[in-house]
Amino acid sequence: MRSYLDRGYSVVKMKIGGASLAEDQRRIESVLSILQDGQRLCVDANGRFDMDTAIAYAKALQQYDLFWYEEAGDPLDYELQAVLRSYYTNPMATGENLFSMQDARNLVRYGGMRPDRDWLQFDCALSYGLVEYLRTLDMLRQHGWSASRCVPHGGHQMSLNIAAGLGLGGNESYPDLFQPYGGFPDGVKVQDSFVTMPDLPGIGFEGKGDLIKEMRALSD
């Protein structure tokens, strides 16, 4: 976590649910102890909790000022997500495994998500194309949601460029994963959790020297 903070990130994320609740609380408190003013922590359960476990975690996490509590249960279990709002008043996030406008609509209709604080993580690069994602954004507006509450989950160049172009609330970033496809174009640095997009054509891959090198090796 320190390595990400040192690179300019102000919001970091950790997985939960792989250990006991008590151990996860110890891990969370350990990270919170190193955060400075303006720095926040997200936690992500990767959809592994049943209702009782999701509620138990919600009660325990309520005491922390987390940026969000992500995907507590199965992505299609809208009842579980809706029940959590009774136990967790801080921001929640979900939606990374929903790809159609209809699934997104069911989430905002029945999942108890709150447009004043919660986050929607539909991955614009996986949502059956940009046209379908635009349909989702239009549906969200009709239900009182701002595009600024959308933060695509994918963490790759295509979503980053779409998020910037559509004025979304941000885009997750995995600078050390999925190489050479992950990360940013050469020379792009994170400053206060923001990046400046390079003046390049395409979706960002074109500015990655390590990816170009890999492509050339594959074509030889």
Catalytic residue among 153, 189, 208, 213: 153
Residue type (1 letter), 100: S
Residue type (1 letter), 84: L
* DSSP secondary structure, 163-203, as one string: HHHHT-S-----TTSSTTTSS-STT---BTTB-PPPS-SSS
CA distance 66 to 118: 12
Q: Which residue has the tokens 């635009």?
A: 134
Known catalytic residue at 13? no
Spell out the alpha helix ranges (H) of the chain. Answer: 2-6, 21-32, 51-61, 78-84, 101-110, 130-142, 157-166, 209-219
46: helix, strand or coil: coil
Q: What are phi and psi of 107, to 5 degrees?
A: -65, -45
Catalytically active residues are 15, 153
